[in-house]
Amino acid sequence: MKGNMEFQNSVIDDFVIVKSDGFPTYNFAVVIDDHLMKITHVFRGEDHLSNTPKQIMIYNALGWTPPEFMHIPLILGSDRTPLSKRHGATSVEFFRKRGILSAALMNYLALLGWSVGEEEVFIIKEKLKDFNPSDISNKGVVFDPQKLEWINGKHLRSLDLEDLLNEFTQWLKHVGKPVPEQDKDYVLQVLKICREKVNTMEQLYEFSNPFFNDYVEYDQEYIDKYLKLECSREVLIKSIEVLNKLQDWSVDSVETAIRKIAAMKIASKGKTFQIIRGAVTGKLVTPGLFETIATLGKRNSLQRLSHTIEFLNKLR
């Protein structure tokens, strides 16, 4: 906060309140708007400090009582200059499209300039009762996109699964992506295992998408690093043989089966896991392998393993 500040009228030049085209300037329009909305307290960035005496003059000229004004430090970019478009995204719509939850964005913005104690992740409405303007920082703060993403991940994982499904569905519609048509319980299970490794709705979509498609698109990295290995075909064949005999399709049972395949030493354990992972999802970074296969189910998993062998035959 700046404390009490005084400005001499004599150093303020005549200023325009209505332009030649009849449109009001900012200083005039904001006074009218705030008065009609019965605004009593105005918090603005310190870059608006020079506008405030002009606005007070307008209030006085109109016979209205000015609100209380408070000017706070600006949010800065990584170069410690005022945050702007040159630093990347600064709009709410950008963060919405990336899949940042509104609760997380409010949480992070509150952390930037307000002393809220040791707790970093919270619901803003639960903290409002403790808000005091004197707790607002008097120093510029740097916007950290990675910290925002981390906080968003915490909020995302704390949501009830039903609420997460609702948020995810709304986000998919907002960005124009298809909404999963599978059984609700299946979709909930997919979101449950996928959200553990992601921080945004955008990342959740990328992680969960292989579960909602009937076909697998293989990342080139998987093809080059694992599928082209001489041992990959045998790993896939043995995987089909072992998993086809499996009656209990729980995570624990699937884990035992996959580890049994790795114990055959056709390839190293790491390579075995990655060959199977890529075969059922097309990707090398996924939710836990055992959880992934258990969630996909026996029919889907075996079909994808078989399809990968067919794809491999075309490569060679």
All CATH 1.10.8.70 domain ranges of the chain, comma separated, are 163-212
Whole-structure pTM value: 0.84
For the chain, residues classed under CATH 1.10.10.350 are 220-315
DSSP string covering the chain, please?
Answer: ---S----GGGSPP--SB-TTSPBPHHHHHHHHHHHTT--EEEEEGGGGGGHHHHHHHHHHTT----EEEEEPPEE-TTSSB--GGGS--SHHHHHHHT--HHHHHHHHHHHHB---S--S--HHHHGGG--GGGB-SS-EE--HHHHHHHHHHHHHHS-HHHHHHHHHHHHHHHTPPPP-S-HHHHHHHHHHHGGG-SSHHHHHHHHHHHH-SS-PPPHHHIIIIITSTTHHHHHHHHHHHHHT----SHHHHHHHHHHHHHTTSS-HHHHHHHHHHHHHS-SS-S-HHHHHHHH-HHHHHHHHHHHHHHHHHH-
Does 163-212 carry CATH code 3.20.20.70? Answer: no
Mean predicted lDDT score pLDDT of the chain: 92
More confident residue, 257 or 85: 257
β-pair type (75-76, 141-142): parallel
Of 171, 216, 175, 165, nearest to 195 by C-alpha is 165
- In the chain, which segments carry CATH 1.10.1160.10? 85-150
Across the range 59-81, mean pLDDT stands at 89
Pick the more confident residue, 108 or 6: 108
Could you tell me the fold of the domain covering 220-315? Arc Repressor Mutant, subunit A (1.10.10)
262: nearest Cα among 289, 239, 240: 239
Query: Who wins on pLDDT, 111 or 248?
Result: 248
Which pLDDT belongs to residue 127?
82
Q: What is the pLDDT of residue 210?
A: 96
Q: Which residues make up the CATH 3.40.50.620 domain(s) of the chain?
A: 9-72
Which residues carry out catalysis? 85
pLDDT per position as a tens digit, 289-303? 999 999 999 999 999
- The CATH classification number of 9-72 equals 3.40.50.620
pLDDT tens for residues 72-108? 888 888 777 777 666 566 688 989 999 999 999 999 9
In sign, the C-alpha dihedral spanning 9, 14, 15, 18 is positive
Who contacts 296 (Cβ-Cβ below 8 Å, separation ≥6)?
211, 280, 304
Distance CA 15, CA 176 (A): 47
Question: Residue 124's pLDDT is what?
Answer: 87
Q: How far apart are CA 134 and CA 1, in angstroms?
A: 7
> What is the homologous superfamily of the domain 85-150 according to CATH?
Glutamyl-trna Synthetase; Domain 2 (1.10.1160.10)
Distance CA 156, CA 200 (A): 8
* Residue in this structure with the two tokens 């909404």, named with its chain if needed: 179
Pairwise pLDDT comparison (91 vs 30), residue with the higher score: 30
